[in-house]
Chains A and B, each alone.
Chain A
Amino acid sequence: MDSIPTPSLPTIIEPATPPPTPDYDVQLESLSQWQIAWRRFRRHRMALIGSTLFFSMVLIGIIGPLIFQFDWYKIPTPDVHVNAGRPPSLAHPMGETGRLQWDVLTLVVNGIRFSLLIGVIASGMGAIIGTIVGGVAGYFGGWTDTILMRIVDALLALPLLFVILVFTKFLGSGSWISVTVIFGLFGWLGIARLVRAVILSLREGEYVDAARAAGVSDRRIIFRHLIPNALSPIIVATTLGVAGVIIGEAFVSFLGFGVGQETPTLGNILAGSLGFISQGNWWWAFFPGFAIVIIVLGINFMGDGLRDALDPRAKI
């Protein structure tokens, strides 16, 4: 006997996974916005690849220097007869540099450490300054907004690269901390604009009126109510900013204006290799360059993943 065909419901695309915990059970635990974002981030393949790349570089940057210590004043005994570097060997898997014959592996792991430090700290500084400036400008509006944003416009109108070159040359004296601070002090402009725009729309929300009606102060509204709501784009921009600073630092150091040779960064390792590439010392340039590519690629993938995970409208 023909059974009545049961109309098949459209299957939800998740066949491979074991039967999910029932909805009502999930609903019982409170998920904050961040927990939801984290769940989505975990499901984002590019984000996982990106963060794996990035965090393994971070791990190398933390552990590497402990194993391969770098001391500017402990020059390895160079072969006085050979000025050029030596290709990768078992003892030196990334080869040795020309001139002083540093171990490239040692340089690279230390370079990763400092490049990441510079990137993260400078980008974080920029994010903090930019968030405060943008938040204040967006919330108060009027003259405050006009003045702050015209300052941003004026700074953006400067050819920033040259300004940074000049600053690093005259104020930097080659220390990595001062280079970091300079990048931080000039890195907040984009974030300030972004945060201002976001706050400008958020402040019209009724919960802002409700908070004001409850007697909450302006400062608290900006920092406890508005900025947490604006955190998603700030996080994305800051993450991508790390990559920008790392490239920027590499560029500045490459030109010889950045961090001095006593502190290896991926940029100044590359700078050192410049005169030796023509002699076929590819390993000196390749490994630090490759490290930059991996870090930046990892950050960019991660940033894209974060953008998707933090966007409440995106369905993943």
Chain B
Amino acid sequence: MTETAAVHDRRAGVGEVLLDVRDLKTYFHVMDGTVKAVDGVSFTLRKGGRLALVGESGCGKSVTALSIMRLIETPPGEFAGGEILFDGQDVLKLDDRAIRKVRGGEIAMIFQEPMTSLNPVMSVGDQIIEAVLLHQKVDKKGAHDIAVAALQDVGVADPKRRVKQYPHELSGGMRQRIMIAMALSCNPKLIIADEPTTALDVTIQRQILELIKTIQERTGAALLLITHDLGVVAETVDEVAVMYAGRVVETGTVEEVLLHPRMPYTRGLLESIPSQAKRGQRLSAIKGTVPNPFRMPSGCKFAPRCPYAWDICSESEPDLIQLGSERTARCWLNDPRYHDRLEAYEASRPGGHG
């Protein structure tokens, strides 16, 4: 009963900002120099909201997620600037004890590799119980009951037997369910899912996404989904932030961003989705590769790969240009001065995304 009350309270708070990442800079000092993995990322996530961070490998989306949990090792990592306000407090300024309370208790994370994210020598029950005991005032028996209930919640059949099993006895989908059970067992306010379905079979992917969504809706927790799969984005979240080379390059609602991308990179990503409609055609891909972190282009980071780029793009980098109350894009096309270019860009839209 109290839980539903808590959920109700949380629902009532929907709309308030839960997570506010401001100008986050996470650098890594390595042998060859400094890698600016995350370089001035800002976004907000409301209570009960669902946001996806999208981008290619190496764009900094996972580092952003790990920064929110403060799971970046320093050194070689460094939080070079910015703040991560979670529920009003700056995560980056918390001491070790306080951050451990946040981890698992307030923010839960689901990892990419269910095959390796469970400890092979502990039974899955013990691993959930460990998390529960850390964050809730219950005894071992109570924690065990919570673990069983959590497994039941995520659709694990015969949870009383499963808690005694070891990870190697379970399939990938089952393990991911257990990771989700672990995440939800402590009633977190925010669930970060880092590529939760990438390592799974296509048939299991949908089930797991549905599960995450159901859990998220029922508990009223916010969801931050990290993915490179725009198909997953469309089905799961409300808002999107596209990242490229350590920066946010476009934000907005799912419909806006996926249907009317205002940054050529987003359009490139959309065009590289293989789909039934394009059967027989060559798969299009964004030409070139992600820039070398040690030799970032001086202007727009995407300019060297951008089919719409012109002089200004390689000269100076645009800010995130506000396009609406919730809509931004980091591209000169959106500058009022280049309105004609934007029209040309819109006109050149390939079919299938209108």
- Residues on A facing B (Cβ under 8 Å): 27, 30-33, 142, 205-207, 209-217, 220, 224-225, 228-229, 231
Contacts and interface: CB of A to CB of B under 8 A. Distances in A.
B222 interface: no
A27, A205, A207, A231, most chain B CB atoms within 10 A: A207
Contacts of A32: 121, 123, 166
Nearest to B69: A213
A269 B235 CA distance: 80
Contacts of B164: 30
Interface residues of B, number: 34
B109 A210 contact: yes
Interface of B: 66, 69, 71, 75, 100-105, 108-109, 111-113, 116-123, 130-131, 134-135, 161, 164-166, 169, 179, 182
A210 B135 contact: no
B123 A215 contact: no
A228 B119 CA distance: 10
Given A30-B165, A30-B166, A206-B113, A215 B119 contact: no
A231 B121 CA distance: 10
Contacts of A30: 123, 161, 164-166, 169
Main secondary structure of the interface of A (DSSP, over half): helix
B31 to A, nearest CB: 15
A153 B130 CA distance: 37
Given A32-B123, A206-B111, A212-B71, 5 more contacts: A207-B118, A207-B119, A213-B104, A214-B131, A224-B122
A111 B123 CA distance: 43
Given A30-B165, A32-B123, A215 B117 contact: no
B123 A206 contact: no
A30 B169 CA distance: 8
Given A27-B169, A30-B165, A209-B71, A215 B102 contact: yes
**Smallest CB-CB A-B distances: 4 pairs:** A215-B104, A214-B104, A215-B103, A213-B109
Contacts, number: 83
A315 to B, nearest CB: 15
Contact of B121 (A31, A33, A210, A216): A33
Contact of A214 (B121, B123, B130): B130
Contacts of B119: 207, 211, 225, 228-229
A213 B108 contact: yes
Contacts of B123: 30, 32
Contacts of B117: 206-207, 209-210
A27 B162 CA distance: 12
A31 B131 CA distance: 23
Contact of A228 (B75, B109, B113, B121): B121
Nearest to B162: A30
A220 B127 CA distance: 12
Given A30-B165, A229-B120, A142 B109 contact: no
Contacts of A27: 169
